Amino acid sequence: MEGEDDEDSKMIPPPIIPMGYKIPKKHEVETSTPVSTTPVLEIKKDRLCHEHGERIRDIRAYQFSLFRRRNAIDRHL
């Protein structure tokens, strides 16, 4: 009977601690670098350029020309 009690006490598994995570002690502060999952977008040098890469001198005139072009395209459809 005593032999069975010893075997039962050995059957208890030890506590499981994940190896990938370090448990900070009381005097330690957890310092981990946050990792951003946001994709980095390509930054354009000059946003005021049209599709051919030429600098837009007068943004209002350019927007008006785009508006007129859009209206002409819509009329043909």
H-type alpha helices, the chain: 2-10, 59-76
Mean pLDDT value across residues 10-19: 66
Q: Which of 50, 47, 54, 53 is nearest to 69 (CA)?
A: 50
Residue 59 and residue 48 in contact, taking contact as beta carbons nearer than 8 Å: yes
Q: Which pLDDT value is given to residue 13?
A: 67
Per-residue pLDDT of 44-76, as tens digits, reads 555 566 666 677 677 777 788 888 888 887 887
Distance (Å, rounded) from C-alpha 24 to C-alpha 66? Answer: 60
Single out the residue of 53, 72, 69 nearest to residue 61, CA to CA. Answer: 69
What tens digit of pLDDT does each residue of 25-50 get?
A: 676 565 666 666 776 666 555 556 66
pLDDT for the residue 18: 60
